[in-house]
Amino acid sequence: MESQVRGGTRWKRFAVVMVPSVAATACIGVALAQGALAASFSVSGQSFKVTADKLEGTGFSQYGAIDSGYTLDGKKTAHAVAVSAFKSASITNMCQSVVTPNIPLLGSVSLTLKAGGGGTPVEAENLYIDVEDLSADAVFKGIDIGVAAKDASKGPGLKSGDTANPYGFAQQADSATLTDVKQTAWATTAGTFKLSGLKMSLSTGVKECY
């Protein structure tokens, strides 16, 4: 079975996709670029934006969850997210950005990461992305909609430690291909994450991937 979804869509429908927190990646980016390492990233109290020309994933599942954390001034936060999970994923021309506001003497500072260009895409295994908003053109093959989260067997399973209802709504597919991706996410976890052609930059002001 094949299903196509065109144009913008929010996480309650098909908020699929990828990538790690830019701020955390900046600390270990060189190691990730050189080899496949286990990775678990989030930007406490902040979302980050991501674009990609193409995401090809196999073993896809998606379910609702709650992300909790702290804002930059120490207040607790909670966000409804769609956890998009892939057994494996390949990402072409990925850009991700996070903006830290109100830095003394500097104002806003933007951190941008780019990888997966030059014909060598980013590669990830057992990838979980906590997505808030997504726009993309998408093709799903072998899709099942309305399964219980605990029964979504095509993906890598529920992420350990997730605040999620195992009996809640979920969907799954044998594979998913997304093009012209734009998304807002809160966190990501991957068993391995390899960033080819990694480039990172810091700049003052608000400079995001989209």
- Percent of the chain residues topping a pLDDT of 90: 62
User: pLDDT band for position 42 (50/70/90)?
Assistant: low
pLDDT (mean) for 15-44: 47
pLDDT confidence bin for 15, thresholds 50/70/90: very low
Give SS3 for 195.
coil
Average pLDDT over residues 75-92: 93
For residues 29-39, average pLDDT:
51
User: Is a pLDDT exceeding 90 seen at residue 161?
Assistant: no
Worst-scoring range by mean pLDDT, 69-78, 94-103, 153-162, 180-189?
A: 69-78
Q: What is the pLDDT of residue 85?
A: 97
Question: How far apart are alpha carbons 128 and 63 in whole angstroms?
Answer: 11
* Mean pLDDT within 67-89: 88
> SS3 of 139, please?
strand
Smallest Cα–Cα separation from 9: which of 129, 113, 134, 154? 134
**pLDDT value at residue 38:** 59
Phi, psi of 24 (to 5 degrees): -70, -40
Full-prediction pTM beyond 0.75?
Answer: yes
DSSP 159: P
Map residue 67 onto helix, strand or coil. Answer: strand
DSSP E strand stretches across the chain: 2-5, 8-10, 37-42, 48-70, 76-103, 107-115, 122-141, 144-148, 169-194, 199-204
